[in-house]
Structure 1
Amino acid sequence: MVVIDANSPVQAGVQIDGLQENRKIAGQLAEIANLLNEQHANEYRVNAYRSAAKTIAGLRSPVRDLLERDGVEALVALPTIGVSISGLIESAIRVGRIPLLDRLRGQSNAEHFFATVPGIGPQLSHRIYDHLHIETLPELLGAAKDGRLDRVPGIGQKRCEAIQACLSQRGVVNQLVAKPKSEPVVPIDELLEIDRDYLKRAKEGTLPKIRLSSRGSIEGDWVPVLHTEREGRHYTAMFSHTERAQQQEKTHDWVILFRDDEHDHGRWTVITAQYGELKGFRIVRGREKDCEQYYHRHNAYHQREAGHAPYPEVPVQWEREAGRFGVHG
């Protein structure tokens, strides 16, 4: 039984609402665990979400109060709540949705990711996701600060500055928690290996599939999903079905890699390069130089696909369409 500590009926009502929100978030985390289990994810990853659900359900005060008073660091300090899960809880509180849960359900719901921010409606929210593949308010703030956001059609410099000011007023920070200096960048070999594994197993038909129900997808579309682990880092891989991917007929080429584990989270897009020296090779957007070094290291340049000749330069169109819209690792 939960004891309500309040000095007035109004305060008691607010606290009861907060505890009900705790139970709702706990239910969402438990559903993530169940879906991961059904999709053959690592048992450790499944148990991490189940444990987090129990922690939130067992809190004696609203988790919203903790976030607003002490920030995301206070969430990370809770038992069984790491960096990645704290970000999901923050999203549930500030936006009312958990993108990971939507994704595992086969829904993108990108129109809801940023629609609570003044100046961003459903259509613009969807466009931001299509171009930048970001899902959270901290990522939106980061994109506003580093200049990526004002390159999205419909967002100019003034709107970008207004969005940045609004997020800062809400207490949103660019990084959830500062990464330890010893935390290395995810190796490019690892990302490309997961991409190869996903494409191979998707072609073989050995992966579980989720049914899409996002805006713009064909009713009944099923997408293979891979849950995998590399040295304690947990990843999900699946084909991109954003409007941008569909318009360019890349729904069986662009692969989105998501990382979510106790220590960190991230998102990368892997594509077949259409321009430059790496034309015909699988590359990670935002890490083209790393990919170039990877293929040099593995002496792979002679293994080009038929019809993909080497190009001595990187055209401006590559910079605009393929190399600078991606999510950085």
Structure 2
Amino acid sequence: MVVIQSSDPIHAAEQIEGLHENEAIANQLRQIADLLAEQKANEFRVRAYRAAAETTAQLPTPVREIIEHEGLEGLIALPTIGHSIASLIESSLRIGWIPLLDRLQGQPQAEHFFATLPGIGPQLSHRIHEHLHVETLAELRSAANDGRLLKVPGLGKKRVEAIRACLAHRSADDAMTERSVDQFDAIPVDEIMDIDREYRERVEAGSLAKITPSQHNPDRESWLPIMHTERDGRHYTAMFSNTAKAHQQNATHDWVVVFRDDANAHGCWTVITSQFGKLKGFRIVRGREEDCQGYYRKHNAFHHREAGHPPHPELPTQWEEDEGRRGVHG
């Protein structure tokens, strides 16, 4: 039963609308919990989302009012709603949905959100998502600042500067964007490679749940294995890439996309089998090739050339013949 605490008709109507919004958010959290359970995620995470959904649904005050008056800390102070889920609730209020929910269903919707930004239409938004796999404003801003956005076809320096200015203006009023920390370079390559290894091993063992992606899947097949895993409390989701580019290059069972979906620290990486260069035949994190060379040196996958040859590492012949082609880590 909904109890309206205001005698003012306008405020009462706003409260009713806000409480309906609470229920809509609670339903999104329930869906996340159900999907995590189906996908064999950590049971603690499943219970946490279910508990947060019930708390949100039973609140006597709209969560929008709580954030407006108390900020994110007001949500975090509520029972069962920690920092991570509070940030997801804020995201839902800000953009109308929780991107994590789309991701768990194999339905990346980031490109539709980016298309609402000034200077980024549907076509450019699609190219950005296809080439960089960014999912949030923080990740898009990071790509604009570190030069990755310039690598998107059709984007010149002036256009990137305009997008960067738009994102800087947006972030001034966007507390979520300011709090978010992109982890593209912060997470060690070793950790991403280990997640890639675990995912591919579990795919081969047939131990992962499979989802039915809505894009590039005309027969509506449940073919896409999804994995949830943790490293020292950091939550990750891994799945094969289902982008148009992955399909065009027959890489839907090679390219592995790894998402970190914590509240304050998130990121997205794509691990592929390199087709050229010093790392040909090796699994690499796209965009972090130099770090990958260091990774393989550390794991003794490189050897030095014989005397009289240029002093740089190369792939061992045995590795190329026996394991490199299968993308197994050293």
TM range (shorter): 0.7 to 0.9
* AA of the residue aligned to 1:129: H
Match of 1:54 in 2: 54
Going from structure 1 to structure 2, the CA distance change for 1:158 and 1:289 (only over 3 Å counts) comes to closer
Q: Is residue 2:21 matched to residue 1:18?
A: no
Task: State the Cα distance separating 1:138 from its structure 2 match.
Answer: 2.9
Going from structure 1 to structure 2, the CA distance change for 1:308 and 1:233 (only over 3 Å counts) comes to closer
User: For residues 35 and 166 of structure 1, what CA distance do their matches in structure 2 show?
Assistant: 35
Task: State the Cα distance separating 1:87 from its structure 2 match.
Answer: 3.5
User: For residues 244 and 101 of structure 1, what CA distance do their matches in structure 2 show?
Assistant: 23
Task: State the Cα distance separating 1:166 from its structure 2 match.
Answer: 4.8
Q: Is residue 2:170 matched to residue 1:167?
A: yes
Q: More deviation in 97-106 or 216-225?
A: 216-225
Match of 1:41 in 2: 41
Going from structure 1 to structure 2, the CA distance change for 1:38 and 1:72 (only over 3 Å counts) comes to same
Q: Does the residue aligned with 1:113 lie in a helix, a strand or coil?
A: helix
Task: State the Cα distance separating 1:38 from its structure 2 match.
Answer: 1.0
Q: 1:304 aligns with which of 319, 326, 330?
A: 319
1:154-207 deviation digits (Å, cap 9, x = unpaired): 44135314532552364255442579xxxx944433321221121122133332
Going from structure 1 to structure 2, the CA distance change for 1:9 and 1:124 (only over 3 Å counts) comes to farther
User: For residues 116 and 173 of structure 1, what CA distance do their matches in structure 2 show?
Assistant: 17
Going from structure 1 to structure 2, the CA distance change for 1:307 and 1:38 (only over 3 Å counts) comes to closer
Task: State the Cα distance separating 1:242 from its structure 2 match.
Answer: 1.2
Match of 1:247 in 2: 248
Work out whether residues 253 and 271 of structure 1, in 8 Å CA contact, stay in contact via their aligned partners in 2.
yes
User: For residues 294 and 158 of structure 1, what CA distance do their matches in structure 2 show?
Assistant: 34
* AA of the residue aligned to 1:88: L
User: For residues 27 and 166 of structure 1, what CA distance do their matches in structure 2 show?
Assistant: 32
Match of 2:97 in 1: 97
Match of 2:311 in 1: none
Q: TM-score, normalised by structure 2?
A: 0.79
* Within-5 A mapping of 1:187-266: 187-214=188-215, 216-221=216-221, 222-261=223-262, 264-266=265-267
Task: State the Cα distance separating 1:64 from its structure 2 match.
Answer: 2.4
Question: Where do 5+ consecutive residues of structure 1 fail to align?
Answer: 310-329
User: For residues 132 and 98 of structure 1, what CA distance do their matches in structure 2 show?
Assistant: 20
Task: State the Cα distance separating 1:49 from its structure 2 match.
Answer: 1.4
User: For residues 41 and 265 of structure 1, what CA distance do their matches in structure 2 show?
Assistant: 18
Task: State the Cα distance separating 1:88 from its structure 2 match.
Answer: 2.4
Work out whether residues 82 and 262 of structure 1, in 8 Å CA contact, stay in contact via their aligned partners in 2.
no
Q: TM-score, normalised by structure 1?
A: 0.80
| CA-based RMSD | 3.0
Aligned residues: 304
Work out whether residues 224 and 239 of structure 1, in 8 Å CA contact, stay in contact via their aligned partners in 2.
yes
Q: More deviation in 56-65 or 35-44?
A: 56-65
User: For residues 142 and 69 of structure 1, what CA distance do their matches in structure 2 show?
Assistant: 30
* Within-5 A mapping of 1:174-189: 174-176=177-179, 185-189=186-190
User: For residues 130 and 149 of structure 1, what CA distance do their matches in structure 2 show?
Assistant: 12
Task: State the Cα distance separating 1:30 from its structure 2 match.
Answer: 0.9
Report which of the two structures shows the higher radius of gyration computed on alpha carbons.
2
